[in-house]
Amino acid sequence: MKAALVAVSAALLLVIAARGARAQNPDPTDIRGCTAIESDAQRLACYDQATGRVNLPAAQKRGGAHTPAAGVFGNDAIPHDGDNDVSTPLSLLDSRWELSPESKLGTFNLRGYKPVYVMPVFATSHQNNRPHSPNPDNTVANSERLDNIESKFQLSLKTKVWQGVFGDAGDLWIGYTQSSRWQVYNSRVSRPFRETNYEPEALLVFATHYELFGWQGRMLAIGFNHQSNGRSNPLSRSWNRAVANIGFEREGWTVMLRPWWRIPETRSTDDNPDISNYVGRGEIEIVHEWHGQEFGMNLRDSFRGGRNQRGSARLSWSFPIAGNLRGYAELFKGYGESLIDYNHNATYLGLGVSLLDWY
């Protein structure tokens, strides 16, 4: 079963990459997304769309004066054809998940999902040298010789595979996230990859329209998530979850509530039977954009009392450096920084660069 799930993970990645190479479509109102397009023609079309140049009179398009559009990065309206009609730029969740009819861009267009980054420095003062689990087959007998400083990188992509599952409602998306922790400075043990996590998922996404305490409820998604490290015992770790995503936003802020239910496994084959009491049963993701910078906070909790009340907090910060390159910093405290560390409590600090941020 586990081998099949890992194979499905690889297949999903190949499908996303193959289809996404044909066309990339970042947010049509966010000019920052245009820099990621490889094709010159598509990149120019993206800039025209983001700046409102597609709405200029024909004479101006053929070489007349170019009047820059206002409000590309804010909530100001973009002029249309020189009249008084205006349109409002898409919100963050709308642009990333194509929620409104005017934001729909079809299927099999590759997008970033979670942050894409490389951190040459990812350090902890408490490395997990002897991973263990209540399952005796998943406990390391001898302590590993690991460095406290390693590197970490993450790739995360998503694409829509079915638009309008229920007529005009519901879009089916698949996503893939892969993160690796590399003992690149540890020459004593030949610089191995300490832990790589593979996370394919499928989400059925619906647009919502309601207000709650001043926040706009913009999306609801339900889906399936598999996460594993693709290793054999005693280092094997994996779990499957049914997940929900509930998205809210207001100007400059995005909040995603993400409860989940672990799909049970037989105890004899469960690599990590108590993972929900450490990694948790849900999380909240908060993202704030401010003057070109992006601040993220992720909080997870087990929602249990007493000794089983555990969780984690992750803080991230990205900021412009040059062009599409951004600085990236991450601070993590708690359980489950990776699957092999699901029941290991530690603090981690990482520094590096990113190309894509949240959503």
341: nearest Cα among 121, 124, 113, 155: 124
Sign, CA torsion 283/289/290/292: positive
Active site residue 226: yes
Report whether 141 contacts 352 (CB < 8 A): no
Q: Which of 228, 238, 316, 318 is catalytic?
A: 228
Neighbours of 155 (CB within 10 A): 19
Residue with the two structure tokens 């530690």: 346
In one-letter notation, the amino acid at residue 208 is T
Q: Which helix (H) or strand (E) holds 194?
A: strand 193-212
- For residue 15, report the phi and psi dihedrals to the nearest 5 degrees: -65, -45
Q: How far is CA 205 from CA 172, 226, 245, in A?
A: 6, 18, 9
Estimate to the nearest angstrom the gap between the alpha carbon of 173 and the chain centroid.
Answer: 13
Token pair belonging to 79: 């002029």
DSSP string, 288-346: EEETTEEEEEEEEE----GGG--EEEEEEEEEEEETTEEEEEEEEEEE-SSSTTTT-EE
Q: Which helix (H) or strand (E) holds 351?
A: strand 345-356
Report whether 354 contacts 115 (CB < 8 A): yes
Token pair belonging to 154: 């993450």
Q: Which residues are registered as beta bridge partners of 52?
A: none
Q: Which of 103, 133, 151, 226 is catalytic?
A: 226
216: nearest Cα among 316, 314, 75, 50: 75
- Just list the catalytic residues: 226, 228
